[in-house]
Amino acid sequence: MTSLFARTLREDPAEAEVASHKLLVRAAFIRRAAPGIYSWLPLGMRVKAKIEAIVREEMEAIGAQEVHFPALLPREPYEASGRWDDYGPLLFRLKDRKDADYLLAPTHEEMFTLLVKDLYSSYKDLPVSLFQIQTKYRDEARPRAGLLRGREFDMKDSYSFDIDDAGLEVSYQAHRQAYERIFTRLGLEYVIVSAMSGAMGGSRSEEFLCPTPIGEDTFVRSPGGYTANVEAVTTPVPEPLDYSDAPAAVVEDTPDSATIENLVEVANRVRPRADRPWTAADTLKNVVLTLSHPGGERELIVVGLPGDREVDLKRLEAAVAPAEAIAATDEDFAANPELVRGYIGPGVLGPQGPQTVDERTGETRSAIRYLLDPRVVEGTRWITGADVEGKHVFDLVMGRDFRADGTIEAAEVRAGDPAPDGSGPLELARGVEMGHVFQLGQLYAEALGLKVLDQNGKAVTVTMGSYGFGITRAVAQIAETNHDDRGLVWPLNIAPAHVHVLATGKGTEIFETAASLAAALEAQGVEVLYDDRPKVSAGVKFADAELIGIPYGLVVGRGLAESVVEIRNRRTGEREEVAPEAAVARLVELIGSAGR
């Protein structure tokens, strides 16, 4: 400790919000270099290296081979795949001295595809799985929670290449199982959930989420075992209703009813229902949004959904990816005067609204695309805007009085909603995305021309999978789930050391005994951090040890006069007194082979 490059802090760093961030900075594992960009100190380096070693072992165990790609990459391959644009502002872009476009890679599908294309040409070369442990870059709009969402971070990314879908399934399952072993070895609780593929494209993907209240992802699970990221939850579509005896739609004056809450109150007053009062679920809310497409094109759309639900922007964006969605602005409303704020109804939207000729396709289409929540099926009856200030229409029947351009999964998912597979009501929880496995299929191979000759000499497009694991994020999440109010509590196999030897007291005998015990432990293969600071109080040494969180402490102090040293278990708090000559054997026994 006299030479270790580390200084613990008593105070939480000002910008830190979550426990892992506070503690990793205070215990001198990391320091911030810029927003979302961190430097690693010696203690942090050791933890990260141990996690990398575990990930590397499990990747090699399934036959994946390690390679390494540059982080600085030319634009062209990402242009070919469409991601140069699709990534939008998430991508760090730059130019070299010759004005050529480059990017800092957020992930490497394109480069792996091109490398396999460069080297391989036959079905006999497949399958192959490649991985790298590498620095990635994403220009997050809101880097937060320390290492949990950074802009420069380390990932293990791997890619599988197979001749057909059956092969992909095998590679995918091998990776999925390797991930399960990695999570288990890292002591990370996890849930595997169905996910949207987002900017990755591809046909099927699952996320490995670590449940935690500070997570940015929301996921659902049902009693019957359905799990999904909330963005991937599909709404069970009700059967269409018979509307043959539905009353005709009627427009009513509904002054001051621009909010759903007011509308329900007014509706119950101006046109009360016989059997029960109107509720928000009887209203059809039409939400105006602007999509920002990768090419820069903006498109106004309207989402219609039951008035008791809000639009979930993350679900909406997952549904319209790679476009980004933002709330419509005053300018948008000014440019579309048919949209009467607070009173927007289907009358001016979608097929029943103004039509226009699409510049690109030449086909006639709705001037304002109208997309409905899947619950708004044919035959359902609604109170909704009449497109006139202060007026709503009652008993407007979907399929009879209006139609839409399609459906969209944009409504919030709520606890108690039914699972799409009928496995019961959903429960919601939050998690951190630690891993993501994708069945990419032929998306990238097609875009970049990766084909091999099959057994009949025919060129076939290769089928790919892509698999990511957040190394940096794992450090944070392990800290997040392994701490108490005094500091970090590292699992033995990824702790920066196994034993923290503390010399507490003033006699030279204490320091000599502590030093020789530290040396004896190291001779047995035990990793030791020795607090040899001569003029630091026992209290400060204990506090630092608890903050740093090494699993076992060996305290050589006043007890030495009675031939006693103390072994402390950081996690349980248990203390055990042993004779100095028995300490090494006892610690080796406690540590076992697990930590070494």
Q: Which parts of this chain interact with a copy of itself (CB under 8 A)? A: 3-7, 28, 31, 33-34, 37-42, 45, 48, 63, 65-74, 89, 92-94, 96-97, 102, 104, 111, 115, 118-120, 128, 130, 135, 137, 139, 141, 151-152
Residue 157's nearest CA partner among 217, 202, 106 is 106
Least distance in Å: CB of 471 to a copy of itself?
Answer: 12
Residue placing its CB nearer to a copy of itself in the complex, 52 or 378: 52
Q: Report yes or no: 299 and 369 within 8 Å, Cβ to Cβ.
A: yes
Residue placing its CB nearer to a copy of itself in the complex, 100 or 582: 100
Q: Report yes or no: 315 and 409 within 8 Å, Cβ to Cβ.
A: yes
- Can you say whether residue 73 is alpha, beta or left, with left for phi > 0 and alpha for psi between -120 and 50 degrees? beta
CA atoms of 494 and 551, how far apart (whole Å) = 10
Least distance in Å: CB of 153 to a copy of itself?
Answer: 10
Cα angle 311-313-319, degrees, rounded to a multiple of 5 = 95
Least distance in Å: CB of 72 to a copy of itself?
Answer: 5
Least distance in Å: CB of 29 to a copy of itself?
Answer: 11
Q: Is the peptide bond before 127 cis (omega within 30 degrees of 0)?
A: yes
Cα angle 14-19-25, degrees, rounded to a multiple of 5 = 55
Residue placing its CB nearer to a copy of itself in the complex, 104 or 348: 104
Rg of the chain (C-alpha set): 30
Residue 210 buriedness (CB in 10 A; 0-12 / 13-18 / 19+): buried
The 3-state secondary structure of 76-141 reads HHHHHHCHHHHCHHHCEEEECCCCCEEEECCCCHHHHHHHHHHHCCEHHHCCEEEEEEEEEECCCC
Residue placing its CB nearer to a copy of itself in the complex, 90 or 377: 90
Residue placing its CB nearer to a copy of itself in the complex, 120 or 243: 120
Least distance in Å: CB of 132 to a copy of itself?
Answer: 9
Residue placing its CB nearer to a copy of itself in the complex, 89 or 225: 89
Least distance in Å: CB of 419 to a copy of itself?
Answer: 38
Residue placing its CB nearer to a copy of itself in the complex, 48 or 149: 48
Residue placing its CB nearer to a copy of itself in the complex, 310 or 527: 527
Least distance in Å: CB of 90 to a copy of itself?
Answer: 8
Least distance in Å: CB of 139 to a copy of itself?
Answer: 5
Amino acid at 175: H
